Structure 1
């Protein structure tokens, strides 16, 4: 039983490998820059934001799938935000549970997935990428 509970409270190993297609945002200035480039009203790409926390078990569970989606869906921008580091950004998007995935298109939220629902997230990304290519 100790293994299960310790897995909930033990920080995960550093997974910020340099070859990931996910942009980890660690400051408000960096977030503002990402939003300016990819989240503006004129931006054509889908932006998928992963609001997570290092202590969140489901966040760690879905992280490999999120990275895999980022490498597969190259027509979208994938961003990861730690809610403890950037709580003001999380509040802006009314994030109340982790993980929360917010999909932005043209500066507007078009969808969201709350929870580690890999298949639902994959399906929504496909929907909004294909709608931008038509």
Structure 2
């Protein structure tokens, strides 16, 4: 990286949540994240997961890697046992379930540990 690029990168503030997966532990946290994403018109990808689910554990590092590579997308992780009301609101019946939302509307979903389908739909919805 050239010195001028480094200076420009250093001068650009980066929110600590960009490029990371944000775990939701309360309805208040959920509301704040969704409202911020909606006002910024950002794509939101939600991983509905459970600690006891082996396919969920297998997908966690893949989901985290997608978050690192897509800093303009909000990646949320919701434990269905901890946040039952959110899981019920979106009719989540199998884990993992990944929802794609924009401005409060569910645009798509991927059910199961389907890495390629998840990547394809992320690309599709980032472009729209």
Query: 1:54: which partner in 2?
Result: 51
Q: Distance in 2 between matches of 1:79 and 1:125?
A: 14
CA offsets 1:23-80 (integer angstroms, 9 cap, x no match): 0111111111111111x3x441110000000000000011110000000011210000
Runs (5+) with no aligned partner, structure 1: 1-17
CA contact (8 A) 1:49 1:103 kept: yes
Name which of structure 1's ranges 25-34 and 76-85 shifts more when overlaid on structure 2.
25-34
Partners of 2:31 and 2:127 lie apart in 1 by 27
The structure with more radius of gyration? 2
CA, structure 1 residues 75+27, in 2 after alignment: closer, same or farther (shift >3 Å)?
Answer: same
Does the 8 Å CA contact 1:43/1:107 hold for their aligned counterparts?
no
Provide Cα deviations, 1:102-125, integer angstroms capped at 9, x if missing partner: 000111000000001011001001
TM-score normalised by length of structure 2: 0.83
RMSD of aligned C-alpha atoms? 1.7
Q: Secondary structure of 1:128's partner?
A: helix
Which runs of 5 or more residues in structure 2 are unaligned? Answer: 1-16
* Residue correspondences, number: 112
Using the size of structure 1 for normalisation, the TM-score is 0.79
Secondary structure of the residue aligned to 1:50 is: strand
1:122 and 1:59 mapped to 2: Cα distance?
16
Matched, 1:109 2:112: no
1:98 aligned to which of 73, 95, 110? 95
Q: Report whether the alignment pairs 1:33 with 2:18.
A: no
2-structure distance, mates of 1:70, 1:26: 19
Distance in 1, Cα, partners of 2:41 & 2:35? 12
After the TM superposition, list the runs of 4 or more consecutive aligned residues in structure 1 that deviate by more than 2 angstroms: none
Distance of 1:66 and 1:76 partners within structure 2? 12
